[in-house]
Amino acid sequence: MEAAVDDLMAELDRRLAAADAALAADYRGDRGVRQPIHTVYVPADRYDVRTVDDWGAQARAALDEYAGSAADLAKIVAADLTDDVYERVRAKLEREPIEDLRIDFEDGYGNRPDDEEDAAAIAAAEALAAGPRTPYHGLRIKSLEAPTRRRGVRTLDLFLEHLGAVDDGFVITLPKVTSVEQVEAMVHVLETLEQKHGVRRLNFEIQVETPQAILGADGTALIARMVKAGGERVTGLHYGTYDYSASLGVAAAYQSMEHPVADHAKDVMQLAAAGTGVFVSDGSTNVVPVGDAVHDAWRLHFRLVRRSLARGIYQGWDMHPAQLPTRFAATYLFYREGYDEAAQRLRAYLGDGESGYLDEPATAVALAGFVLRGIECGAIETTEFDTAALARLARRDMP
């Protein structure tokens, strides 16, 4: 009987070998790196070595002018913001106002004469090389659609030529992707430029701004095939609120991060990215906190950030310095409100006490990821859990 079972298991191993290999290759799991809570887009001609400090200063000035205390900000966003959260936000704006910076050569920059964009690419690369650098940083090139592909590749080539060393935080955003072939072509572009410039592996994000990225003509979810085609070079999927909504015929007045077409696209993106180690980012709101609209814009931005977090999307875009206070306030409140229960459930899962929940391993992974994200962005501080142990659990390296 034992021999028969051994033979059966050997046969199962042979039958499932290809499926096992495909699962390991396509669903690599958590990459074990920090996910930024936002990406800031700055037009290339407005970026210089002072940009990060300037954004922090402008964000603090907006906070001072329109919400000089926790009570003031709490009243504006209609949330229970404590003095501790408020001070953490101010400290974040001093220490690390931008977690992920993208120098924009696409929509935020527009179409310029070649000599002008050449000069902007060189100047931006030299400024990034001079610093200061945010934890993540890079550029958004023009798309690989026929009208713009030469310009996009030329800008990337010039940028790398004048940047010098490429570190682990460097990432490229590829916008308006419409086919799997464009992702394959981007991989070829990066391989070629790596050899030319002698730099480390270049990674990129796929920007989901077209209906073709979600649903192909053959009825398949092309975004999943795009992730597979990019392999380990694809680190993120970024939703483009306004291009995508406009492509589906949504009137300008109704285009938003919470429109049903936006939710559908992001649901598909989350499904495609699940288990692959690819980050998913929400898009942006074009309602900016300026002039008489600051309070209304803050209220909207705060709510949208909270909404994304509740949906399991832990990153979004910020387009204006005055959006940073509500980005951090909403994010910090989210993690601080959930920490006590998450910590109790983690302790119980690890055999230290009771929580009232019988959590399964998958939920423990989610709990560890929640606490780890809160620590990494500065929302919470704790000596209760070792961050390395949390990271191992989030990667399913622990029982």
> Where in the chain are the domains?
38-337
- What's the pLDDT score for residue 1? 59
Element (H, E) at 261: helix 260-273
CA pair distance 192, 210, nearest whole angstrom: 27
167's tokens: 């570190």
116's tokens: 């002008």
- What's the pLDDT score for residue 388? 87
Examine residue 325 and say whether the peptide bond preceding it is cis (omega within 30 degrees of 0). no
Provide the Cα torsion 147, 150, 151, 154; round to 10°: 170
- What's the pLDDT score for residue 398? 39
CA pair distance 328, 74, nearest whole angstrom: 13
- What's the pLDDT score for residue 399? 39
* pTM given for the model: 0.94
- If you classify domain 38-337 with CATH, what class do you get? alpha beta
- What's the pLDDT score for residue 180? 97
User: Is the C-alpha dihedral spanning 371, 372, 374, 378 positive or negative?
Assistant: positive
Which amino acid, 78?
A
**Nearby residues of 298 by Cβ (< 8 Å), 6 or more positions away:** 66, 67, 73, 76, 77, 289, 322, 325, 326
User: Do residues 354 and 342 lie in contact, with contact meaning Cβ atoms separated by under 8 Å?
Assistant: no
CA pair distance 145, 175, nearest whole angstrom: 10
2's tokens: 């034992």
How does pLDDT run along the chain (399 residues), one tens digit per residue? 588 999 999 999 999 999 999 999 999 988 889 999 999 999 999 999 999 999 999 999 999 999 999 999 999 999 999 999 999 999 999 999 999 999 999 999 999 999 999 999 999 999 999 988 899 999 999 999 999 999 999 999 999 999 999 999 999 999 999 999 999 999 999 999 999 999 999 999 999 999 999 999 999 999 999 999 999 999 999 999 999 999 999 999 999 999 999 999 999 999 999 999 999 999 999 999 999 999 999 999 999 999 999 999 999 999 999 999 999 999 999 999 999 999 999 989 988 888 888 889 899 999 999 999 999 999 999 888 888 888 888 875 533
- What's the pLDDT score for residue 337? 96
